[in-house]
Structure 1
Amino acid sequence: TPRPLSARHYIVLQRTWSARRFIKCNHTCVSFIGIARTLRVLELSRALCHASDIISTVEFNHTGELLATGDKGGRVVIFQQEIENKNLPQFRSEYNVYSTFQSHEPEFDYLKSLEIEEKINKIRWLPQKNAAQFLLSTNDKTIKLWKISERDKRPEGYNLKEEDGRYKDPNTITSLRVPVLIPMDLMVEASPRRVFANAHTYHINSISVNSDDETYLSADDLRINLWHLEITDRSFNIVDIKPANMEELTEVITAAEFHPHQCNTFVYSSSKGTLRLCDMRASALCDKHSKLFEEPEDPSNRSFFSEIISSISDVKFSHNGRYMMTRDYLSVKIWDLNMENRPVETYQVHEYLRSKLCSLYENDCIFDKFECCWNGNDSVVMTGSYNNFFRMFDRGQRRDVTLEASRENSKPMQVLKPRKVCAGGKRKKDEISVDSLDFNKKILHTAWHPQDNIIAVATTNNLYIFQDKVN
């Protein structure tokens, strides 16, 4: 008999995992047959898989030149696309380590006797305005703005300093020298520019940069705050769903995102499977949504697990701003902003797990938070599954494919063949039984290059980068 579930129980169990340090890098070639045709993979793996080595977020910057990953150890690793290979189609997915830095450290809240993990929950890039790059990273409580910059010159020839750094006696200086810049080995520096803290009582699950490039939002289980990038000591609470009596709590906020073009519009999802579109022009506190997106429940599919599997784990606007994509436990849904009563497209990710919900509930896998992403022109969507499988759906041609990201099938120039899962009956030779799926191997975090057919897939402590093959 399944254990009874409360909203508090859900808040505790909805947390996802994360990652830490890269120990070795292997370059492997793989091909992929399916929607994005054939792919080539750069596998960046760690030899030892500690709890702190698990990747918790993956994010391309706006040009796709940089790829950032965060892990449970509070570390951010940035990969850069090889500049000399950028215009060579067959090598454009070559990414090498560009910068590594410790973003967050473990902390302890002595007032609440609560340990604050260093795990990186989300990373979001800011649009590039000058030579430097900026990104936001957050753990459960604190958001930081980081500046990533390059330095290949250093000043030399100071009047008041010796070459070893000691100060001269001013009385001994007989001539005036102008310091000059001399070349040095390229150094990539990551420096914290802002720290946004003490604004969230509950765990932060989302951050999203506004299209005005001046503000961003941060969301936890019950509240959403609006920040200005230049102001760290205060934020504005724009959504608050906390009831006066916590015993009356029926849902929590699971994700939130700004519209890509309309700076006044944002959306947030809930554990009840609803989407609320809000307009900040209507009121300072967006306690009344402008649109509510909710699909009527099918009575024939009603079960003890209905509310759990309908919880939305991720929401993403399309690049053109016309659609929203949501991910619940079993499916991906596409919503038109002009139609609130039902999604315009529904894609089943792993429907064969519906008969396994009881065991998935017992081992807490049913609370896994899968992410989803669009390709650059919104024609294909991608999300993860178990057994290191990930799914891609071509919206126009109504085709889908299941692929596996693993070290075993990542030999040079090997074709990454589509995988099929047998839910019951006689299993074919090229199929895998649903009973043999490994639920400890899961792809929760994925990202798609904004301009090219290059994808990044995180499998526990491994990062795979695929591209479509060029013949």
Structure 2
Amino acid sequence: MNGGGEGLAAPATSGAAVSPLEWKFSQVFGERTAGEEVQEVDIISAIEFDRTGDHLATGDRGGRVVLFERTDIKDHGGHRRDLERMDYSISRHPEFRYKTEFQSHEPEFDYLKSLEIEEKINKIRWCQTANGALFVLSTNDKTIKYWKVQEKKIKKVCEMNVDASKSMENGAVASSMSTSSKPYLANGCKDRPVSSPSNDTSFPALHLPVVTSQETSLVARCRRVYAHAHDYHINSISNNSDGETFISADDLRINLWNLEISNQSFNIVDVKPANMEDLTEVITSAEFHPTHCNTLAYSSSKGSIRLIDLRQSALCDTHSKLFEEQEAPGSRSFFTEIIASISDIKFAKNGRHILSRDYMTLKLWDINMDSGPVATLQVHEHLRPKLCDLYENDSIFDKFECCLSGDGHRVATGSYSNLFRVFGCSEGSTEATTLEASKNPMRRQVQTPARPSRSLGNLPRVLRRGADNSGADTNGNSFDFTTKLLHLAWHPSENSIACAASNSLYMYYA
């Protein structure tokens, strides 16, 4: 990758400040009633919009994949091109409906390692559509599956010409059928004239059954199974922009697959040391560049992001760029390394920026500037005094996801008490909104002093803003660490967010 950034789009954070958005509730799927106990298998574990934003997929801990389709623009011909011509700032009210679901993974047991393999869906990724069919990659801890979902016409035998009395003489019709000489027409189809049996003993004229396509049904079929390539739990899958390959990542390795070849993959990153006692960091997330098929990034438990170029060597054991933030002197504590671990990374749509989420913050990185993040956004800084409690109840190991808007002006991530936060990342923006995942989302604007406009090159390495030191949620209650919003996705071309709170899928728009 060239350090000068030839061919890259303008930075996401450049330009005039964008006014804060007013978020509104749109829809909810699977909302539980008061007092209803949620089954573990129903908790949503993955969310993903497709490239058009017309379809949404969720995966749950029970191994199911549920697909939703957009309905508010369904009836307009060529609607995708119309949407691309529209101004991004125009508020729309996207509406989705349940499309279909299928069982993607089942619980397994590895007898060689005496290891139970959960059916939980870790990640979902959409592939390119073809001939009206939808293609989805889904993975649990060990096995990736490639699914094709398409409409199939159900064919039924509509009518048959059978003379019951003559057939009974030949023993072909059960005694429960009518013994009258009236022709028997199957499946309740409309009567049509049939030849009457003659008075002699000869068999009446035969007519072939008529087969018709009466209705359509969505059928999910597993096209490929990519298995036995990971010794550790798969944490990421990511499609390449070439439409032919994808990567899968576990704690120590990243493998490159061809969609059409399931019995072999190429190991392109291997961080496993010769002696496992020397292991100091693991891979936590990996993603392909949105447009450059030779470039991908992966994050580590030490808080660093490595950019690698597949053109350099077959085994990318050396990175082309390293992004990490230097520790402030004297700031190290027992929890420093734990909260520095990056749980998720996402490329901006233009490929110029990478968004990362660690336990306490969101960081925005410019891939042409490896001295440090261009912005650091505090998600729940008020929890810092409670890190000891969070460590005791294992909450400090929760893995929150992050997402960017299609225009690159905003980023979002989740927190506790089913809250999620939306930050403006345009230059001069002070937008920091907290919303609750519910039908009546409580919202809070966290305003910070405006900073003078400046170019990206002059920005300080760390911009701390949006900090909330109240230690309480929007209702003034203490944070509930048992309810957490880990998974969310931003519509690729509109200001619309889908997020998962337990077994419920909430949709918001602005």
Q: Distance in 1 between matches of 2:60 and 2:509?
A: 23
Shift of 1:95: 1.4
Shift of 1:92: 3.7
Correspondence list, 1:19-168, <5 A: 35-44=20-29, 45-46=31-32, 47-83=36-72, 92-152=93-153, 154=155
Q: Which residue of 1 aligns with 2:463?
A: none
Note the residue ranges of structure 1 that are not aligned, 5 or more in a row: 1-33, 165-171
Change (3 A) 1:190 1:35: farther
Q: Which residue of 1 aligns with 2:165?
A: none
Shift of 1:179: 7.5
Question: C-alpha deviations, 1:52-106, integer Å up to 9, x for none?
Answer: 1111011111111111110101011111111567779988422111011100000
Note the residue ranges of structure 2 that are not aligned, 5 or more in a row: 1-18, 80-89, 161-184, 188-202, 447-466
Verify: 1:457 aligned to 2:446, yes or no: no
Q: Which residue of 2 aligns with 1:23?
A: none
Contact 2:420/2:435 (CA < 8 Å) preserved in 1?
Answer: yes
Correspondence list, 1:22-421, <5 A: 35-44=20-29, 45-46=31-32, 47-83=36-72, 92-152=93-153, 154=155, 182-184=213-215, 186-396=216-426, 397-406=429-438, 410=439, 416-418=442-444
Change (3 A) 1:173 1:355: farther
Aligned residue identity for 1:453: N
Q: Distance in 2 between matches of 1:258 and 1:358?
A: 36
Contact 2:296/2:309 (CA < 8 Å) preserved in 1?
Answer: yes
Shift of 1:176: 10
Contact 1:221/1:254 (CA < 8 Å) preserved in 2?
Answer: yes
Residue 262 of structure 2: SS of its match in structure 1?
coil
Residue 384 of structure 2: SS of its match in structure 1?
helix
Question: C-alpha deviations, 1:124-143, integer Å up to 9, x for none?
Answer: 00122321010100000000
Q: Distance in 2 between matches of 1:239 and 1:163?
A: 62
Change (3 A) 1:163 1:112: farther
Q: Distance in 2 between matches of 1:41 and 1:459?
A: 15
Q: Distance in 2 between matches of 1:234 and 1:430?
A: 50
Residue 382 of structure 2: SS of its match in structure 1?
helix
Change (3 A) 1:173 1:109: farther
Shift of 1:113: 0.3
Q: Which residue of 2 aligns with 1:169?
A: none
Residue 301 of structure 1: SS of its match in structure 2?
coil
CA RMSD of aligned residues (A): 2.8
Question: C-alpha deviations, 1:302-356, integer Å up to 9, x for none?
Answer: 1110000000000100000000000000000000011112001110101111111
Contact 2:122/2:235 (CA < 8 Å) preserved in 1?
Answer: yes
Q: Which residue of 2 aligns with 1:423?
A: 469
Contact 1:326/1:372 (CA < 8 Å) preserved in 2?
Answer: yes
Aligned residue identity for 1:138: T
Q: Distance in 2 between matches of 1:81 and 1:173?
A: 54
Shift of 1:110: 0.3
**Taking every aligned residue pair, what percent have the same amino acid on both sides?**
54
Aligned residue identity for 2:213: I
TM-score, normalising length: structure 1 = 0.82
Shift of 1:424: 5.7
Residue 432 of structure 1: SS of its match in structure 2?
coil
TM-score, normalising length: structure 2 = 0.76
Aligned length in residues? 415
Verify: 1:442 aligned to 2:478, yes or no: no
Q: Distance in 1 between matches of 2:204 and 2:508?
A: 60
Residue 281 of structure 2: SS of its match in structure 1?
coil
Q: Distance in 1 between matches of 2:306 and 2:106?
A: 34
Q: Distance in 1 between matches of 2:299 and 2:124?
A: 19
Contact 2:156/2:214 (CA < 8 Å) preserved in 1?
Answer: no
Aligned residue identity for 2:359: Y
Larger deviation, residues 64-73 vs 39-48: 39-48
Q: Distance in 2 between matches of 1:178 and 1:264?
A: 56
Shift of 1:151: 2.6
Aligned residue identity for 1:57: A
Larger deviation, residues 264-273 vs 295-304: 295-304
Residue 358 of structure 1: SS of its match in structure 2?
helix
Q: Distance in 1 between matches of 2:305 and 2:159?
A: 60
Aligned residue identity for 2:151: E
Verify: 1:432 aligned to 2:476, yes or no: yes
Residue 273 of structure 1: SS of its match in structure 2?
coil
Contact 2:249/2:255 (CA < 8 Å) preserved in 1?
Answer: yes
Which structure has the greater CA radius of gyration?
A: 2
